[in-house]
Chains A and B, each alone.
Chain A
């Protein structure tokens, strides 16, 4: 017979103990965080410098964790960092569904233990014409795809964010003028998902992802606008048809499936020819595929990128 800790210890003490353990973890985390922050300011010799392009400087941990678009926690840029404290990213499992040989629920810890976590320094370009440089930790999505063995019919991958209105105030909010069909979904073509630059991220600056950045697991596709990099993933579905994803559903006139960074295709509200790098005064010109053209343009070689924007 298995005896649960909660059967011996009075429930209240048990809770307090858990809280104590959590807060000591928190202080350890704060310590590593502080040393990481320090490291980020020594630009010349930090551990990410060899992955940093010549013209790029890492954004600070503060910038990356306080300026976010994550409508599940609210629409303002600081809402995700202010209103995500109720969200519990662990325990967590991801459901692999659809056209695969090995569907099923995968526990996050099991998933992570199967793959090697790597550092990836990527530029992130938001469709709102601002950008950052972020040192992510994660593993290539292709490692997971290969493990679950998609069937030959699988042409696209659909991703889904968790739906927890009790923990995510933005999912609860009803407004007259803006309707989001929760849960948030995103999608990639299978070959985009298999591309070595596409990762599932578990952390940044050597620290577990904070809730506002998409804890505990999110997608990062550096050559597409930021909203494609879906956060807090609970389901990965292999499908035959191009999935209908959230932004094109909300506003088909302004957002489309591919959403590759392209300075030649303007959004009606923002120019896409230039961008403001967070922390800089002058705007920078935006590069095709966010500067990853060499790596990814083969994926789209016979496509009209103006039509399929």
Chain B
């Protein structure tokens, strides 16, 4: 049975709520003092992981919607992408405001010295054009072809995000390696699908 657009569109508000809910939960926990004894670190960690998961979700949606039966999934990809940005931005602001409280001199030094922060920041910059061109008007303005090319930036953003996580992990790197593996698998699949299947 084909997944209908109607079902996908109707479930949008629920998905939106479910994906925003964790951030509200963490902020309430933070204010109540229930995020453990190092709450800023914890919050930054949770927000960053959520951002990474949602970035991966957009890649999965793209791959799945190649199948005719699941084509309707395309309708939620933009929302998931914007939610990913919501978490990227919160993660970034937690670092700037809560962790270092606008200590720019320090932040710039950190940015230059620590590769994982450099990659994180590059990613933050790379994701911005995707956000600004997310409206239908912008797709029309750019033409679909250029818009699509611009949005293939996600193939750089996703592995960089996983690399950022990998580099900051001190001990057990299993989790970041799993994310990296999923991303590389999805990229290989897209490559295979686009180049090999379409042109044969």
**Which residue numbers of A lie inside 8 Å of B, CB to CB?**
62-63, 66-67, 71, 75, 77-78, 128, 130, 175-178, 266, 268-269, 271, 273-274, 276, 278-279, 281-283
Task: Give A303 to B130 CA distance when docked, in angstroms.
Answer: 52
Which of chain B's residues have a CB closer than 8 A to the CB of A176? 174, 177
Which residue of A67, A71, A77, A273 contacts B106 across the interface (Cβ within 8 Å)?
A: A273
Is B173 touching A63 in the complex (CB atoms < 8 A)? no
Additional A-B contacts beyond A67-B37, A67-B38, A274-B106 (13; CB < 8 A): A66-B36, A175-B172, A178-B172, A178-B173, A266-B113, A269-B114, A269-B116, A271-B114, A273-B106, A276-B38, A281-B40, A282-B101, A283-B101
Does chain A have a CB within 8 A of B170?
yes
Given A269-B116, A274-B106, A283-B100, CB of A177 within 8 Å of CB of B173: yes
Tell me which of B98, B170, B172 contacts A269 (CB under 8 A): B170
Of all chain B residues, the one with the shortest Cβ separation from A60 is B37
* Contacting residues, chain A, for B142 (C-beta < 8 A): none
Q: Is the CB of B171 within 8 A of A178?
A: yes
- Binary A-proximity of B80-118 (CB < 8 A = 1, otherwise 0): 000000000000000000111101001001100111100
Given contacts A271-B110, A273-B106, A282-B101, contact A177 B174 (CB under 8 A): yes
Which residues of B are found within 8 Å of A128, using beta-carbon distances?
170
Q: Pick from B37, B98, B170, B172: contact of A63, CB below 8 A.
A: B37
Q: Across the interface, do B174 and A178 meet the contact criterion of CB distance under 8 Å?
A: yes
Return the chain A residue nearest B175 by Cβ: A177
In the complex, the answer to whether A75 meets B116 with C-beta atoms within 8 Å is no
Residues of B near A175 (CB, < 8 A) are 172, 174
Tell me the B32-47 residues at the A interface (CB within 8 Å): 36-38, 40-41
**Which residues of the partner chain B approach A271 to less than 8 Å between Cβ atoms?**
106, 109-110, 113-114
Q: Tell whether, in the assembled complex, residue A269 and residue B36 are in contact, meaning their CB atoms are under 8 Å apart.
A: no
Count chain A CB atoms within 10 A of each CB in B36, B170, B174 and give the residue with the most. Answer: B170
Nearest CB in chain B to that of A268: its residue? B114
The interface residues of chain A lying within 8 Å CB-to-CB of B38 are 67, 77, 130, 276, 278
Q: List 25 A-B contacts (CB under 8 A).
A: A66-B36, A66-B37, A67-B36, A77-B36, A78-B36, A128-B170, A130-B38, A175-B172, A177-B172, A178-B171, A269-B114, A269-B167, A271-B109, A271-B114, A274-B106, A276-B40, A276-B41, A276-B99, A278-B38, A279-B37, A281-B98, A281-B101, A282-B101, A283-B99, A283-B101
A156 to chain B, nearest CB (A): 26
A63 to B177, CA, bound (A): 31
> Which residues of chain B are near A279, meaning CB under 8 Å?
37
Query: How distant is B78 from chain A, measured CB to nearest CB, in Å?
Result: 35
> Which residue of A has the minimal Cβ distance to B116?
A269
Chain B's nearest CB lies how many Å from the CB of A267? 9
| B168 sits at the interface (CB 8 A) | yes
- Rounded to whole angstroms, the CA-CA distance of A274 and B173 in the bound complex is 25
* Closest CB in chain A relative to B182 CB, distance in Å: 15
Contacts of B106 in A (CB 8 A): 271, 273-274
Q: Indicate with 1 or 0, residue by residue over B109-135, a CB within 8 angstroms of chain A CB atoms.
A: 110011110000000000000000000
- The smallest beta-carbon distance between B116 and chain A, in angstroms, is 7
A59 to B106, CA, bound (A): 26
Contact with A along B14-40 (1 / 0, CB 8 A): 000000000000000000000011101
A206 to B183, CA, bound (A): 51
Q: What residues of chain A lie closer than 8 Å to B101, measured between beta carbons?
A: 281-283
The residues of A that contact B171 with a CB separation of less than 8 Å are: 71, 75, 178
Nearest CB on A from B29, distance (A): 14
Which B residue sits closest to A74, measured CB to CB?
Answer: B172
Instruction: Please tell me if the beta carbons of A177 and B177 are within 8 angstroms of each other in the complex.
Output: yes
Instruction: For B41, list chain A residues within 8 Å (CB).
Output: 130, 276
Report the Cα distance A157→B110, complex, angstroms.
Answer: 36
Q: Are B37 and A62 in contact (CB under 8 A)?
A: yes
**A71 contacts across to B, CB distance below 8 A:** 171
Question: Shortest CB–CB separation between residue B171 and chain A, in angstroms?
Answer: 5
A199 CB to closest chain B CB, in angstroms?
Answer: 24
Partner of B168, one of A177, A269, A273, A282: A269
Flag if B172 contacts A278 (CB, 8 Å): no
Q: Chain B residues near A63 (CB, 8 Å)?
A: 37
Cβ contacts under 8 Å, A268 to chain B: 114-115
Instruction: List chain B residues, Cβ under 8 A from A130.
Output: 38, 41
- In the assembled complex, the Cα of A131 lies from the Cα of B110 at a distance in Å of 20
Q: From B173, which residue of chain A is reached at the shortest CB distance?
A: A177
